[in-house]
Amino acid sequence: MNLIKAGSSLFAIVLLLTSFSKPDQPDPDLHLYLLVGQSNMAGRGIISDEYRNLSQSNVQMLNKKNKWVTASHPLHFDKPARAGVGPGLAFGLEMAKADPSVRIGLIPCAVGGTAIESWVPGAMDRVTRAYPYDDAMARLRIAMKSGVIKGIIWHQGEANSKPERSAGYLEKLESLIGRLRQAAGDSNLPFVAGELGRYRDNYQLINNQLRQLPGKVKNTALASSEGLIHKGDNTHFDAASATELGKRFAAQMILLQQ
């Protein structure tokens, strides 16, 4: 009887030590995607009934409290009073459709109004008092404890669309991609940028540079904004256009991953 008790106690100790020696590993079936940029990534489309209850249990988002919840509009929380439909949720739903065997984990990190110069270590956005790059990296590290990073989508450039601010944009973006990939631990991590709306002439100062990205930086692609429209402010995609852009982001991401 004592031998049985001793054996049970030894087994319990071994089990306890084993549990401590093998910390939880990231789930390889939770595919993470970083969503970065400014307001058209965050989303400013009107959340009508059509979009309000749009969700799927295997598409999750890291919320403001860094907890995983079912993804729904609005994904972002940079400016709560303005938050609306963006491309991120449609992107996540399309990625889930492409591979139903996995879960999708979206990491919303866009900050409306930010220039690309705000997306460097230590830079503060004066409007939101946020540190866009630093905050995104902190959230990425938290997310990577749960899953495996599979790609990045980026939509930004409106704040850099004046002649004096657009010079050198592509080089700055190339540097940002390098930093993001280094932080993710993958020098070949797929990266998809989105074109700015074609409804403003000055946005072409950025689009003309973005179109050069796939030829300059390996494993990158561009999601087209052809045919997409604004919501009446000549700046932000309406809900349907933001949704379509999200699908285009996903199509390009899938091509890169193949």
In a domain, 10, yes or no: no
Residue type present at position 114:
T
Query: 84 — phi, psi (to 5°)?
Result: -155, -150
Q: How far is CA 11 from CA 14, 20, 21, 158, 223, in A?
A: 5, 14, 15, 62, 56
Residue type present at position 100:
P
In a domain, 18, yes or no: no
The pLDDT-based confidence of 24 (bands split at 50, 70, 90) is confident
In a domain, 12, yes or no: no
What is the tens place of the pLDDT at every residue in 206-255?
Answer: 999 999 999 999 999 999 999 999 999 999 999 999 999 999 999 999 99
Q: How far apart are CA 74 and CA 152, in angstroms?
A: 19
In a domain, 179, yes or no: yes
Give me the pLDDT at residue 7, please: 45
pTM for the model stands at 0.90
DSSP secondary structure, 99-134, as one string: -TTSEEEEEE---TT--GGGSSTT--BTTTTB-HHH
In a domain, 123, yes or no: yes
Q: What is the CATH number of the domain that holds 162?
A: 3.40.50.1110
In a domain, 13, yes or no: no
Domain span including residue 238: 25-257
In a domain, 15, yes or no: no
Q: How far apart are CA 97 and CA 144, in angstroms?
A: 22
Give me the pLDDT at residue 257, please: 97
Residue type present at position 169:
Y
Structural domain count of the chain: 1
The pLDDT-based confidence of 4 (bands split at 50, 70, 90) is very low
In a domain, 156, yes or no: yes
What is the tens place of the pLDDT at every residue in 112-155?
Answer: 999 999 999 999 988 888 999 999 999 999 999 999 999 999 99
